[in-house]
Amino acid sequence: VRLEITMSRFWSPIVHSLIPYVAGEQPTAGGITKLNTNESPYGPSPLVLEAISKAASDTLRLYPDPTARELRAAIAESFGIDKDEVFVGNGSDEVLAHTFQALLNHERPLLFPDISYSFYPTYCRLYGIAYQQVPVDAEMRICLDDYRQPCGAIILPNPNAPTGIGLPQDDIESLLKYHPDQVVVIDEAYVDFGGESAVPLVGTYPNLLVIQTLSKSRGLAGLRVGFAVGQRPLIEALERVKDSFNSYPLDRLALAGAVAAWKDRDWFDRHRAMIIASRERLAVALKALGFHVLPSSANFLFARHPNRAGAELTAELRSRGILTRRFSADRISDFLRISIGTDEECDRLLAALGEILH
């Protein structure tokens, strides 16, 4: 209905058929407990703020480094790979967009799970990519046997979003072996919260591209920095698309902040451990309230109450100033995706749920 109302004769034909992704709400009012978009509840490393303010006062009149050399070198060093095997972009969303355009458009359809990141079908429509969504099983798990079929390429979030369920590295490796001539993209936006990364497989498998972000485990969603890791031919394809689109992958402040964040390993380890501990505590408490909670390796939980509709729960929480996320797809419409906040925020959520359920 919305599309019909906004059709315009000025639009290029493709715009008529787009169904854009709708980002989670960013409220402008204060006093909200925001558990809806999987940000870190903690600010980034203090070294990030120092680096950004230094870059702001020294060099903002200059264009940024179009090759993002320092950031790519820092990321490459920590993975023991070459900086030419790293591609950076404005959040992993942009890295994903370039990936869809550069690597995932083939004669056969792209495969991805029916329950996964809802940006994937949006990119497919934007770039005219044929795709097939592979159903997750009754427990919402990705069954990799179902991906053993002819296809153009595969993309999987690991851990999956919005379920939070992770796949072991061995399973990813068998998929890479089964499809040596297809690109397999693993979207590891949430891998730092207990998932198994496929990055160590990059050296062995030329068909593997791994995408990560600094938005979640580095507390930098506002800075917009993501990256891909893969062998040269895959990275080169992304560079070609980027250089045909915007030759500066990141601005100077983002580059400076991202380098500082990447190098502050202590901050990273401490805060992800805190989030994992809060997640485990919240999962136990939600189960005690009667929720069915999926096993999560991410910084969120996906949970459903057997006696309450998801829409009702999210509305009740919202009226108490607590935002969670719900998705409209039939199979998951009763689930709440709850981002892990501080323990205090989780307690506020639990108190509200206790009130709503009794």
Residues 225-244 that bind ligand PMP (CB under 6 A): 226
Instruction: Give the residue with the Cβ less far from ligand PMP, 85 or 187.
Output: 187
* One residue of 153, 172, 189, 256 binding ligand PMP per CB under 6 A: 189
DSSP 166: -
Tokens of 214: 């600094």
Determine the 3-state secondary structure of 339 from DSSP.
strand
* One residue of 157, 166, 194, 219 binding ligand PMP per CB under 6 A: 157
Query: Of 64-72, 89-97, 128-136, 318-326, which part binds ligand PMP (CB under 6 A)?
Result: 89-97
Query: Of 57-65, 86-94, 139-147, 340-348, which part binds ligand PMP (CB under 6 A)?
Result: 86-94
With vertex at residue 285, the alpha carbon angle to CA 315 and CA 113, rounded to the nearest 5 degrees, is 65
Tokens of 133: 């969504």
Q: Minimum CB separation from ligand PMP for residue 310, in Å?
A: 19
CA 329 to CA 95: how far, in whole Å?
26
* One residue of 87, 100, 117, 302 binding ligand PMP per CB under 6 A: 117
Q: Minimum CB separation from ligand PMP for residue 175, in Å?
A: 18
Instruction: Give the residue with the Cβ less far from ligand PMP, 116 or 231.
Output: 116
Instruction: Give the residue with the Cβ less far from ligand PMP, 55 or 156.
Output: 156
Is the CB of residue 33 less than 8 Å from the CB of residue 348? Answer: yes
* One residue of 187, 192, 264, 334 binding ligand PMP per CB under 6 A: 187
* One residue of 102, 156, 161, 303 binding ligand PMP per CB under 6 A: 161
Q: Where are the alpha helices (DSSP H) in 215-331?
A: 232-243, 252-263, 265-288, 310-319
* One residue of 41, 64, 91, 166 binding ligand PMP per CB under 6 A: 91
β-partners of residue 184 are: 154, 208
Residue linked to tokens 């969120």: 300
CA dist list (Å): 105 to 17, 102, 109, 139, 211: 18, 7, 8, 30, 18
Tokens of 38: 């999987």
CA 302 to CA 304: how far, in whole Å?
7
Q: Minimum CB separation from ligand PMP for residue 21, in Å?
A: 9
Instruction: Give the residue with the Cβ less far from ligand PMP, 276 or 353.
Output: 276
Q: Is 299 in the site for ligand PMP (CB under 6 A)?
A: no
Judged by the rule CB under 6 A, the positions of this chain that interact with ligand PMP are: 91-93, 117, 157, 161, 187, 189, 213, 215, 221, 226
